[in-house]
Chain A
């Protein structure tokens, strides 16, 4: 839904965020906390390494048979009584959900945490139709109350302090006294949402893992709002990207272990919720209907290329952003995308097009911290380099297949000409020697302002003589051969 709002200016937003001391402090403190928690969960490097190998194999195996697994998942879900819907675009997914709500005769939907619902901008869509979406995850509830967006995929409100939240609750919730006590703040949230869970007819959740073998939807959470969302209303709608499927139920324990330990440094979350059917005859509670919405939204584009396909291995733990020196400095909002941080830089171009995300693949130092912690070993820096290449390769380039929507968004004829000239100089010895001679003898002509280079660096200083010349002179004085 990139065209529903003006193009996000990543350069301006990141520069602004990096100069905001509160943002810097809050994000740094939260990332340090999450990094320490994760490290404490993996004391044995060998176990971690083997578990990551397994995670990678499970995800790659699942992706290698994705179309077949999706059909198996649908068949198993249908047999269990779960109705499956397919959505190509965010608009289709929103439409499916709105129609289901109408079927259930409900103007309101209560939501457990779902990044895919953020991706399709469901809340916005429903509001425009005069319907309401209510977030029930405490972090998401806070962010919604503040009319903001999540700044982190696991901890949506990490950019806020308890003082911010104390003011927010006092100002926005009726009859709420001002308190900075975290326990009291959580009880205020619990009380406000309990009433809504009581009346809600439709609940919406995400899915952490979908199991093809058994038609099971696995959800992890700590608060219990995910269980309430999926157990208390008459209708449960789950939404997930098509890549979240695994082949077997036995794939779930290793993925769970990687996910919760990498994400929040917990051996397991408080609740692991495995849903395989709606309420059966004789059962006294649980939703009468369960629906699963499978969303593509650009994922099949990443799938079409064997290297870019690795993007889809992601299990959304957020460890890459927790360890990213760029994310830690600019926070989640500066990216302007649903998924921020390193994983966001490689998934967003497929969801939104490279033309709308062209600054993201280059907003990285390629330090590799992300791929070092990735529980399923996604080579994020390599994928960033690949996307940089796509962003300067126009669609009509001969011998280059069209791979990414909006590719060539950063293509400039002058840059292309410069590199072509560079290649010619470096492949012809005579030209090379001439260029060295010119660069050293004419070095005084280099202007003080060399474009982007001199924004934050001193201008380059060519030496008076080239290395070849110096070596030749040295050898002449020593009188020996190399």
Chain B
């Protein structure tokens, strides 16, 4: 008998006890207390992320590439990693071309990790991605990695910059996954990010930059 048969037959031999599935009313406790008006939604999202050392910059769909260029110059990144074929790329590339001051070279995640693993792990300072949605209740950004925005982009470089549109802000996780029917097709890897990497494993002192990004920067587009 295989382990599977042994385990399942023991479980099936146990007395059965029917338990009803929780009702929609039961689930409401994970939704109702976490619904907000639009001002509150935005401020809660920003407050929670700021409380865990996330840098948030309010921008518009016009100004964000300029804000990014200023940050790049100010932070001294040696390079900036862009997705492949992302709607973000055009605006960034144009801003970089038109810039009078020197900006870090742009790279693209345009080949499989095996081809450039070392460069990503040790020589890439910052990466920018979009996001799938954002959540006010917990101050979270929903990443839905894709061939264009692979999962290591938001993880390996020490700085992760993410563009969040105000309209992408949802109230809470359960509302969001129900509205978008996530159960009908989950991606390879879906990640909720709620700040830069951190740990409190040494004497309960919080230190940032444990294994993931040391800095999380949100470009928050207020006009879309």
* In the complex, A214 has a CB within 8 A of chain B: yes
- Tell me which of B67-75, B90-98, B99-107, B183-191 binds A: B183-191
Tell me the nearest residue of chain A to B154, going by C-beta.
Answer: A227
Are B150 and A303 in contact, CB atoms less than 8 angstroms apart? no
B147 engages A138 (CB within 8 Å): no
Provide 25 A-B residue pairs closer than 8 Å at the C-beta atoms, listed in order of the A residue: A64-B17, A86-B3, A136-B211, A138-B202, A138-B210, A197-B121, A198-B121, A223-B197, A223-B211, A225-B210, A225-B212, A228-B211, A231-B152, A232-B156, A250-B27, A250-B174, A252-B177, A253-B30, A254-B174, A268-B138, A271-B192, A276-B190, A286-B150, A303-B14, A309-B14
Q: Which 5 A-B pairs have the closest CB atoms?
A: A224-B212, A139-B201, A223-B210, A224-B197, A268-B138
- Residue of A47, A50, A223 with highest tally of chain B CB at under 10 A: A223
Chain B contacts for A316, CB-based, 8 A: none
Q: Assess whether B152 is in contact with A222, with CB atoms less than 8 Å apart.
A: no
Known: A142-B201, A213-B183, A267-B137. A284 touches B29 (CB 8 A): no
Please name all residues of chain A whose beta carbon is closer than 8 Å to the beta carbon of B3 when the two chains form the complex. 86-88, 92, 296
How close is A348's CB to chain B, nearest CB, in angstroms?
19
Tell me the minimal C-beta distance from A105 to chain B in angstroms.
15
Task: Please judge, given known A-B contacts A138-B210, A231-B151, A271-B212, whether A306 and B15 are in contact too, CB under 8 Å.
Answer: yes
Contact of A222 among B19, B178, B199 (CB under 8 A): B199
B211 touches A304 (CB 8 A): no
Which parts of A241-287 form the interface with B (CB within 8 Å)? 242, 247-250, 252-254, 256-257, 264, 267-280, 282-286
A156, A183, A254, A269: which contacts B30 (Cβ < 8 A)? A254
Q: Which of A55-63, A325-333, A356-364 contacts B (4 or more CB under 8 A)?
A: A55-63
Cβ of B112 under 8 Å from chain A: yes
The interface centre, meaning the residue of B8, B48, B137, B199 with most chain A CB atoms within 10 A of its CB, is B199
Are A156 and B201 in touch, CB under 8 angstroms? yes
Contact with B along A94-128 (1 / 0, CB 8 A): 00000000000000000000000000000000000
Decide: A270 near B197, CB < 8 A? Known: A54-B22, A88-B6, A198-B118. Answer: yes
B-side interface size class:
35 or more
> Once the chains bind, are A254 and B150 in contact (CB under 8 Å)?
no
A267-B48 contact given A198-B121, A274-B186, CB 8 Å threshold = yes
Would you call A224 and B210 a contact (CB within 8 A)?
A: yes
Q: Known: A270-B198, A279-B188. Contact between A300 and B14, CB under 8 A?
A: yes
Q: Which residues of chain A from 167 to 211 have any CB-CB distance to chain B below 8 Å in the complex?
A: 182-183, 185-187, 189-190, 193-194, 197-198
Chain A hits for B13, CB < 8 A: 304
Q: Contact: A157 with B186, CB < 8 Å?
A: no
Decide: A50 and B29 in contact? CB cutoff 8 A: yes
Q: Chain A contacts of B10 at CB under 8 A?
A: 296, 300-301, 303-304
Cβ B30 vs Cβ A54 within 8 A: yes
Chain B, 125-161, contact with A by CB distance < 8 Å: what is the 0/1 string? 0000000000001111000011100111001100000
- Cα of A33 to Cα of B205 in the assembled complex, Å: 11
Say yes or no for A67: interface residue by CB 8 A criterion. Answer: yes
Q: Across the interface, which residues of B come within 8 angstroms of A390, CB to CB?
A: none
How long is the Cα–Cα vector from A224 to B214 in the complex, in angstroms?
10
Q: Is residue A133 contacting chain B, with contact meaning CB distance below 8 A?
A: no
Q: Is B33 on the interface with A (CB-CB < 8 A)? A: yes
- Asked if B189 contacts A274 (CB within 8 A), the reply is yes
CB interface residues, A 33-70, toward B, < 8 Å: 33, 44, 47, 50-51, 53-54, 57-58, 60-61, 63-64, 66-67, 70
Chain A residue with Cβ nearest B121: A198
CA distance A67 to B6 in the complex (A): 11
Whether A57 pairs with B26 at a CB distance below 8 angstroms is: yes
Is B65 interfacial (CB-CB < 8 Å)?
Answer: no
Report whether B22 and A58 are in contact in the complex, using a CB–CB cutoff of 8 Å: yes
Q: Which residues does chain A contribute within 8 Å of B172, judged by CB atoms?
A: 253
Residues of A within 8 A of B155 (CB): 224, 227-228, 231
A407 CB, min distance to chain B CBs, angstroms: 17
Whether the pair A47, B205 counts as a contact (CB closer than 8 A) is no
